[in-house]
Amino acid sequence: MPSSTLASATTEAPAPPAARASGFWADTLHRVVRNRAAVTGGIVVAIFVVVAALAPILSPYDPLKGGLSNRLRAPSTTHWLGTDELGRDVLSRVLYGARITAQIQVAAVGLALVLGTALGLAAGYVRGSVDQTIMRLMDILMAFPGIFLALAIIAALGTGLSNVIIATGIFLVPQFARVVRASILTLREMEFVQAARALGRGDVAIVFRYLLPNSLAPIIVQTSLRMATVLLTASGLSFLGLGVQPPSPEWGAMLSNARSYMITAPHVALMPGLAIAVVVLGFNLLGDGLRDSLDPRLRE
Amino acid sequence: MIAYVTRRLLLLVPVLLGVSIGSFALLHLVPGDPAQILAGQEATEEVLTRIRHEHGLDRPLPIQYAVYLGNAVQGNLGISIQSRQPVATLIAQRFPFTLRLAFLAILVSAALGVVAGVVAATRRNSMLDLAALLGSLVGISLPIFWLGLLMMLVFSVRLQWFPAGGSGTAAHLVLPALVLGAASSGVIARMTRASMLEVLRQDYVRTARAKGLREQIVIYRHALKNAMIPILTVFGLEFGYNLGGAVLTETVFSLPGIGRLIVEGIFARDYPVVQGAMLVVATTFVAVNLLTDIAYALFDPRIRYD
């Protein structure tokens, strides 16, 4: 980024042939590692994953147990981040919150990834009326701006962890469908695909051996960026009281409770919000960095 | 151009029909008997039968939908279960507030985002550029509700510059508009930077410089004017997302907007209100997007639509 373009032009120019000789994956990895945003984001995400996995070991206290005699304590040596309105340890709750967050992210993005990729593939490959129908359906979903679609789904299904996953997952389906469709539409006209077809390759082989593998870069980028979107949307729902319900230490739900004590105990609200911001920033950095290093054509 | 607008308007029809089916379906997707939901838990069988008949719930679904759509087109969105007022009246009371908030937020993000984007693009790869890029990414990543709480704590509780919540005066809208505009300004800054970098490479910018124009004039009169065209589309989209973000902002600052109306409606299981408000928000968003696209086509005659 800040390194001068002149210097990078002279030092990097001979690099690609040498890197390519070491293989596609090594070359790709090389480009990702050289991207500062991707590395920074990757480190943040890695820490988040470790915290989510090891929350029971890392947490000094039970995230759900407290004591009213111990309520709204300021940060101290016994409670590093203080205690909340029920005397529960804020640090333990934030650490366990990573777990719930990761669970929502993986399930919701997974749902959107599978559904969106399938729909995008069908639309881009079959085209015609199938494409028209699928894309109009996506237009309808996208007519509800931002969190409204998730709210509508919650209104119909009710609150709770699994409904948050469904709501935020469906909310993201159009994003994946559009990216995959666009990629397929470009790829299917390319010579290597035309050649495969001329050689008598069937539709299944063309889709799974040629089109999907070559669409991986935009899909991976979307996956990282949408992990960030899911976290913002899901914690927003919980903050509104329409997502994951207390006493669960979900970060949005924690903030929602902490609101009432903002003036007397602002430390309770500080950490869950900071946790959301840092993890979202991590996924955004990773996604941006991956976009720049994996697929320079997609650069904004 | 006329053909383009006509085609876009025609494409709008299936989307709006879909949106109306979606909001109609809401009441029927909820587990349980719609009549029971409308009448409340303690309703007797006679009341339920009467409700079913009054709301046409005893008729086939397609007919119910046709009636719902016919009423909606005429501005009749049903009666709120909770307040017994027409849903259209409730929306008319609340929606202008949200629109004003979203509009103010766009002004904030336009001011912050375009300036940051231009500065970043004209000083590419400098520390300022890096700061603008990082700043905009942070803006996009901050949860609106947390930023709102923090701003409230600092500017309302500690410094007491602005009221902590509620509405009525212009001062009540400052913090919410700043909070809501923060995320969009990140998006707009990134878009402005990318668009400016693209334009600054063009021949006419080189020509402008070569004929000795001052750098300020080259940047603002030649480059920015052309770079603004794609940014315009983002304004339209961001306005829509601000409607979505307003749900959270209104909750943080206790503002009487349509977002609050929907959230309170979901809590109270007041489905006519939720259905009506969703329909109005989605229609507005779709209309704003259409207007932005038409403006885009007007401003950039190079683009041909076929």
Nearest to B145 among A140, A239, A300 (CB): A239
Confidence of residue B1 (pLDDT cuts 50, 70, 90): confident
Q: Evaluate whether residue B78 is within a structural domain.
A: no
pLDDT (mean) for B119-126: 87
Is B139 in the same domain as B240?
Answer: yes
Q: A219 with A176: CB under 8 angstroms?
A: yes
Nearest to B266 among A136, A155, A252 (CB): A155
Is B69 in the same domain as B97?
Answer: no
Q: Evaluate whether residue B304 is within a structural domain.
A: no
Residue A149's DSSP bridge partners are: none
Which of A164-168, A193-197, B75-79, B301-305 is the least confident region?
B301-305
The DSSP-derived string for A91-110 is HHHHHHHHHHHHHHHHHHHH
Which residues of chain B from 274 to 303 reach within 8 Å of chain A, CB to CB? Answer: 274, 278, 281-283, 285-286
Chain A closest-CA separation from residue B240 CA (Å): 6
Domain that holds residue B101: 91-299
Chain A residues whose beta carbon lies within 8 Å of the beta carbon of residue B145: 236, 239, 252, 255, 273
B242 vs A107: which has the higher pLDDT: A107
pLDDT given for residue A226 in this prediction? 94
Q: Read off the amino acid at residue B229.
A: I
**Contact state of B244 with A147 under an 8 Å Cβ cutoff:** yes
Is B277 in the same domain as B212?
Answer: yes
Nearest to A263 among B157, B191, B241 (CB): B157
**Contact state of B274 with A152 under an 8 Å Cβ cutoff:** yes
pLDDT (mean) for B166-191: 86
Q: Evaluate whether residue B81 is within a structural domain.
A: no
pLDDT digits (tens), chain A, 300 positions: 344 444 334 334 444 444 445 677 777 788 878 788 889 999 999 999 999 998 888 888 888 887 777 777 788 877 778 887 777 888 889 999 999 999 999 999 999 999 999 999 999 999 899 999 999 999 999 999 889 999 999 988 889 999 999 999 999 999 999 999 999 998 988 899 989 989 988 888 999 988 999 898 889 999 999 999 999 999 999 999 999 998 889 999 999 888 888 888 888 888 899 999 999 999 999 998 888 888 655 444
Is B142 in the same domain as B24?
Answer: no
Q: Which of A294, A108, A292 is nearest to A215 (CA)?
A: A294
d(CA A67, CA A75) in angstroms, rounded, equals 16
Chain A closest-CA separation from residue B283 CA (Å): 7
For B20-35, the pLDDT digits (tens) are 998 888 878 877 777 8
Is B23 in the same domain as B142?
Answer: no
Q: Please tell me the total count of domains within chain B.
A: 2
Percent of chain B's residues with pLDDT above 70: 99
For B92-113, the pLDDT digits (tens) are 999 999 999 999 999 999 999 9
The residue out of B17, B42, B73 marking a domain boundary is B73
Q: Does B68 touch chain A (CB under 8 A)?
A: no
Is B106 in the same domain as B238?
Answer: yes
| DSSP letter, residue A24 | H
Q: Does B145 touch chain A (CB under 8 A)?
A: yes
Asked if the ipTM is above 0.90, the reply is: no
Q: Which of B128, B240, B190, B198 is nearest to A291 (CA)?
A: B190
Chain B closest-CA separation from residue A52 CA (Å): 20
Q: Which of B173, B149, B253 is nearest to A262 (CA)?
A: B149
Q: What's the whole-number average pLDDT of chain B?
A: 86
In this prediction the pTM is 0.87
For B215-235, the pLDDT digits (tens) are 888 888 888 888 888 888 888
The residue out of B19, B44, B73 marking a domain boundary is B73
Alpha helix positions (H), chain B: 2-29, 34-39, 45-54, 61-73, 87-122, 127-141, 144-151, 171-200, 203-210, 215-217, 225-252, 258-267, 271-299
Q: Does A264 touch chain B (CB under 8 A)?
A: no
Chain A residues whose beta carbon lies within 8 Å of the beta carbon of residue B283: 143
The residue out of B21, B40, B73 marking a domain boundary is B73
Is B250 in the same domain as B171?
Answer: yes
Is B57 in the same domain as B154?
Answer: no
Chain A residues whose beta carbon lies within 8 Å of the beta carbon of residue B245: 146-147
Q: Does B273 touch chain A (CB under 8 A)?
A: no
pLDDT given for residue A10 in this prediction? 39
Q: Does A146 touch chain B (CB under 8 A)?
A: yes
Confidence of residue B303 (pLDDT cuts 50, 70, 90): low
The packing angle between helices B127-141 and B87-122, to 10°, is 160
pLDDT given for residue B258 in this prediction? 93
Rounded (to 5) percent helix, strand, coil in chain A: 75, 0, 25
Domain boundaries, chain A: 21-298
Q: Evaluate whether residue B34 is within a structural domain.
A: yes
Q: Does B203 touch chain A (CB under 8 A)?
A: no
Nearest to A136 among B14, B23, B265 (CB): B14
Is B98 in the same domain as B247?
Answer: yes
For B264-284, the pLDDT digits (tens) are 999 888 888 999 999 999 999
Which of A181-195, B34-48, B138-152 is the least confident region?
B34-48
**Contact state of A144 with B245 under an 8 Å Cβ cutoff:** no
Q: B113 with B188: CB under 8 angstroms?
A: yes
Calculate the alpha carbon distances from A72 to A66, A84, A131, A232 in Å: 11, 5, 56, 26
Query: How many residues are listed for chain B in this entry?
Result: 306
Q: B283 with B19: CB under 8 angstroms?
A: yes
Q: Does B153 touch chain A (CB under 8 A)?
A: yes
A270 CB-side CA count, 13 A: 14
CATH number of B202's domain: 1.10.3720.10
pLDDT given for residue B83 in this prediction? 85
pLDDT (mean) for B76-101: 90
Residues of A273-292 as b/e, b for ≥16 C-beta within 10 angstroms? bbbbbebbbbbbbbbbbbbb
Is B148 in the same domain as B293?
Answer: yes
Is B214 in the same domain as B261?
Answer: yes
Nearest to B278 among A152, A266, A269 (CB): A152
Q: B253 with B152: CB under 8 angstroms?
A: yes
Residues 6 or more apart whose CB falls under 8 angstroms from that of A24 comprise none
Is B198 in the same domain as B119?
Answer: yes
B108 CB-side CA count, 13 A: 23
Q: B305 with B4: CB under 8 angstroms?
A: yes
Q: Does B14 touch chain A (CB under 8 A)?
A: yes
**Contact state of B251 with A239 under an 8 Å Cβ cutoff:** yes
SS3 state of residue B79: strand
CATH superfamily of the A21-298 domain: MetI-like (1.10.3720.10)
Residue B79's DSSP bridge partners are: B86
